[in-house]
Amino acid sequence: MNWVLLWKIVLLFTLFGYFFLVCIVTFGGIGNIIEMLKDLSAPSEEP
């Protein structure tokens, strides 16, 4: 088994995959925060 090749692939996948995740989550998260604060401002459903 070529461990060096495996870890190179894992490292590159991690760096690029995480970069894309951070972009998506950052922009999506801002929208989610606004919606969450709206939810919490609304009258409560629980007693």
Partner 1 sequence: MDVFATNFKTVDWVIVSIYICIPLVIGIIVRKYVRQLSDFIVAGRSLRLFIAIATLTGTELGLVTVMYNSELGFKHGFSAFHIGIIETVCILAIGITGFIVYKLRQLRVMTIPEFYEMRFGRNVRIIGGILLSLGGILNMGLFLQAGARFMMGVTGYSNPAGLKLFMSVMLIMVLIYTVLGGMVSVVLNDFLQFVVLSIGMLVGSYFAIQKIGWSNLFTAPETVSSASWFNPVAEGSGFGMIYVLFMVVLTFSAGALWQSGTLRALSAKTPKVAKQLYAWSSVSYLARRVIPMLWGICAFVFVSQSPKLLSAFQGPDALNSQFGMPIFIAKVLPSGFLGLIAAGMFAAFMSTHDSYLLSWSSVITQDIIAPLKKGHLSDKQRLLITRISIVTIGLFLLIWGLWFEAPVSLWNYMAVTGTIYLAGAFTVVAAGLYWKKASKTGATLALFAGLLAILGIGPWTQGENIPFYLSDKFIGLMTFVIAILGMIVGSLLFPDKGTQQEVTQ
Structure tokens at 26: 């950052």
| 21 contributes a contact to partner 1 by CB under 8 A | yes
| 9 contributes a contact to partner 1 by CB under 8 A | no
* DSSP result, 21-46: HHHHHHHHHHHHHHHHHHHHHSPPS-
Q: How far apart are CA 30 and CA 25, in angstroms?
A: 8
| 25 contributes a contact to partner 1 by CB under 8 A | yes
User: Which spans of this chain sit near partner 1 (rule: CB under 8 A)?
Assistant: 1, 3-4, 7-8, 10-11, 13-15, 17-19, 21-22, 24-26, 28-29, 31-33, 35-37, 39-41, 44, 46
